[in-house]
Amino acid sequence: MITLRKVASLLPALALVFSMAMPAAAANAKPSPNPTPSAKPAPEAPVPPEKHPQIREALAALRNSKEHLEHAAHDFGGHRVEAIRAIDEAIHQLEICMQYDKD
């Protein structure tokens, strides 16, 4: 049966073994291919966040929907052509909106 006294007597020996093993493991480690330079590079200017990410997502979704409709096997009850026209107009309007938001 392991007692608390036995565990406590083993702790210094374990600490000694680990302290001796760590430098040996570090010495055997492969050196990094690109050593880090001593001088830190200047921080880059932060990139401002996208003002209207939802509009860009909507444009991508509309273009994806148009592609799907153009290659669909059926005409969706005769509404495919009109839906493609409506998507084209929506894309056009959103692109105009984005042109005016350049400030």
Q: Read off the pLDDT band of 48 (50, 70, 90).
A: confident
Q: Of 41 and 103, which is predicted with more confidence?
A: 41
Over residues 11-34, the pLDDT tens digits come to 565 555 556 655 655 555 566 666
Q: Which 8-state DSSP code applies to residue 102? A: -
Q: Interhelix angle for 80-100 vs 53-70, to 10°?
A: 160
Rounded CA gap, 17 and 9, in Å? 14
Over residues 55-88, the pLDDT tens digits come to 999 999 999 999 999 999 988 999 999 999 999 9
Question: According to the model, what pLDDT value does residue 30 have?
Answer: 63
All residues at 6 or more sequence positions from 98 whose CB lies less than 8 Å from its CB, including other chains: 52, 55, 56
Question: According to the model, what pLDDT value does residue 12 have?
Answer: 63
